[in-house]
Structure 1
Amino acid sequence: MDKNKIIQLLPDIAAFVTVVESDSFSAAAKKLGMTPSGISRQISRLEKELQVQLIKRSTRSQSLTHAGQEAYQYGKNILQNAQDVVDLAANHTQEVEGQLTIASPKAFCRQVLQPLLLSFVEQHPKIKLKIEVTDKPIDPIYHDVDVVFKLTNKPQANLVAKNLATNHLVLCASPQYLTQRGMPQHPKQLVDHDCIYLGETIVDNQWRFKTDNEQVTVTVNGRYIVNHTEMRLEAALNHFGIAVLPFFVAKKAIESGALTPVLPHWVLLDNYQGEVFMQYLPNLNMPYRQRAFIDFITEQFTCAENKSLMNAINSL
């Protein structure tokens, strides 16, 4: 079939896809602003040119033939490619506008991302930024999210994964608490201390540590158990005990001397740490607003004026 004939069939292919997705000729006709008989003629013309039946029709129902199922998938791809062309043209207007949805863990969003997000919105007055703040797993496809931030060592395999930084956990307590109770020299000494831990699962009070030469698990106890990072921070600042915190949360308090690192030469093995990834669906023609956001965040984590942000996460 020559190219001119294929071009002539494009409206019929679009009508066929609309009929399948609308599940009736009348509904498709209403969507396309046509009559049901006009839609029927387009489908018949398409079947004649392809020399195959696409839809089994009866007075009460319609169903796709095997060839119709294949034709629908190809036709749907044609329309999607056409939409991508339209979107590509819109993207080249270089206008950052429309809604963008992102998701991020709570503490990371509050302590690190929030000032960057406010700056992005301030720079682009036509953007509408929707932020999902949650520690639950987020899948961009299922949850309809454009960009998701994850603190993990295993980024989601089917997504683009841009590594922004590294996060680790730190144990810390107030100098007043440590003066009264003493500074632990080994993880096993934590059993004699009040420890502030998550309490989301029955194993959250089992802290695992390692050095180059040793690995140990300690069951800790304490009077204040909370699964909110900033509340654990406040409890540590108020001398309630030794808290486990992401370093980017404890950084300012440690630098000011309000908190002191505990067992800094031991690595705490736990969740909520690892690489900081920005993940999104692979898309050669992604909306310009999404590309602008990804480039903005990447720049914020790498440019010289925000190098302290990286250092806050990467090193103690």
Structure 2
Amino acid sequence: MWRQNWTSVNEFILLGFTTHPILQQVLLVLCSAVILATMFGNSLIIYLVWVDSRLHTAMYFFIGNLSFLDMLFTIITVPQMLVHLASGINIITFSRCMAQLNLTLSCGMTECFILALMAYDRYVAICQPLRYPTIMRMQVCIQMAGACWLGGFFNAAALTVVTINFPFCGPNQINHFFCEEPAVLQLACMDTYIVKVLIFALSVIVLIFPFTFIVISYIHIARVVLSMHSARGRQQAFSTCATHLTVVTLFYSTIGFTYLQPQSSHVADQEKRASVFYALVSPMLNPIIYSLRNKDVKGALAKAMGKVS
């Protein structure tokens, strides 16, 4: 309705990082290596969780969900960037841009919920170990993960519908390497106060509430762990939480910079650089973090390698 009296934009130009030919070739090589490492690492985690019976627990089920989300986010954003770097043509149609915006929002919101579930899993395992098999049985885990996926996609759909109905009449240059909500809103031809309020409200629900839940969970975990008499027990408990805390820190420290501050043009470059971490670096590092610090994953990998050889 808002777009009836405006000349609609049919396509956008993604400015990316640089227009220098040599730098574009360097970025092409680096990003190609990143996507290969991301897809291989996360696929390996999913495979190990699927085939090794020792990993058929709630914690690894959620890790598998996280790996799938990282792969999906990478597929949505990085291949298009590689095509743009290789061809030098950075054009994306309006419909494809909105579809990419919706899917990246869906993945990001779902990941926030999954990370909160992983914290809850650690809380139950450490603070209520006797009730763990009952509370975190697989049927319940599937239902909770399904709710996370549905919640992420429904929230993203609502935000995307509002964005699509804003008028875009030019300029059509997006200061980003993919269609992300704050960068796209900079190009709207009318006041975007309503959608910015909606973004903030959803950010509180999707970012602050899960993060607060994670913090509260780990406060209880720390209280229980510090009261343990066994030094080995404390070390094992902290070790199982360290990987999750590392992933949470990487994810929230960057995505919060983009969505939990007032939107303005002078921070667009900083937001673009921050998004590199949760769009490229974090999905690549997550499998490494889980495999290097987890004996079960390393054992499953050794078992799988033994079967292959």
Which interval holds the TM-score relative to the shorter structure?
under 0.3
Higher relative contact order (CA 8 A, sep 6+): 2
TM-score (norm: length of structure 1): 0.23
Bigger proportion of residues as helix: 2
TM-score by length of 2: 0.23
Mark the structure with the bigger radius of gyration.
1
